[in-house]
Amino acid sequence: MIIREPILAGAWYPSEPEKVEDFLRDFRKNSRISASASAVIAPHAGWYYSGNIAGRSIASLHNNTDIDTVVIIGGHLAASSSFLFADEDAVRTPFGLMYIDNELMARLAKKLDARSDKFQDNTVEILVPMAHYFFPKSKLLWARFPANLKSFDAGKILAQIAAALGRSIVVIGSADLTHYGSNYGFSPKGRGKAALNWVKNTNDAAFINAVLNNNPKEALRCAEEDQSSCSAGAVLGVMGYSEQLGKAKAELLEYGTSADVKDDETPDSFVGYASILWV
């Protein structure tokens, strides 16, 4: 058996199952949304910064025992990149092994002319322990989609193949929003509260509104020209999947930034996060 080992456990998220459970156990109970979403967008920073938003997002997914496979679509890929899939037998999480749905993966990878994802990247791994906690009996599909409109079509193809196989799936798109400040070489509005307000109310808001309005071209434009998402391909994949299901209407569940965890002055660098869901 080939196992994909974690690279972020103990640093970006807890490595002990008890600590993961302590972090996640109350999200479904306290969520204002019942566990009925078919697909969500969740952020992928370390849990200290974005774990609350990600946890509430994934807790909003269908939680019945009939979910065969949790699909996590990550990003960090340029428009020219190939589609990437993990093709190991299982992924190790704090709760043990989460097995990969190799049949679904192989069919989708063949259709998309994809390559094996052998790279180290946080966009999928950071959400796998959450998926394993909320869906302990489900398999996993680990994918990363490039930042182009083909990813929107790939989401539709995912829905078609899952239906043909009789798979009951839920889909998570992993994406952060604007990376602002000197750490990221992007400071068009200077520093301080004015810059933070611009990110929240203008730059991130434009990308979120494009998603909520089911406009993949505008979402991609915002990500490319405004630098308002690092993983637009993941978002477009979920949008295409949801449209194929006839669930193009999205809802913003929660928004925040990494600056929210700071008690002092606005940091020089920060990142936007959003939870968006399709019911």
Q: What mean pLDDT is predicted for residues 227-249?
A: 95
The angle that helices 232-244 and 216-225 make with each other, rounded to 10 degrees, is: 180
- Give per-residue burial for 116-135: e unless 16+ CB within 10 Å, then b: ebeeebbbbbbbbbbbbbbb
Residue 216 pLDDT more than 60?
A: yes
CA 170 to CA 157: how far, in whole Å?
14
CATH label, 3-278, candidates 3.40.830.10, 3.30.565.10, 3.90.850.10, 3.40.50.740: 3.40.830.10
CA 204 to CA 223: how far, in whole Å?
9
Q: What mean pLDDT is predicted for residues 3-8?
A: 97
Cα 256 to its chain centre, rounded Å, is: 15
Domain ranges of the chain: 3-278
Q: What mean pLDDT is predicted for residues 6-27?
A: 95
CB of 245 within 8 A of CB of 279? no
Indicate the pTM of the whole model: 0.96
CA 15 to CA 36: how far, in whole Å?
28
- Taking only the tens place, the pLDDT of each residue in 60-75 is 998 766 899 999 999 9
- Taking only the tens place, the pLDDT of each residue in 52-105 is 999 999 999 987 668 999 999 999 999 999 999 999 999 999 999 999 999 999
**pLDDT score for 249:** 84
CB of 114 within 8 A of CB of 35? no
**What percentage of the chain carries pLDDT values higher than 70?**
97
Q: How far is CA 162 from CA 101, 121, 137, 158, 241, in A?
A: 11, 25, 18, 6, 10
First to last CA, the chain: 36
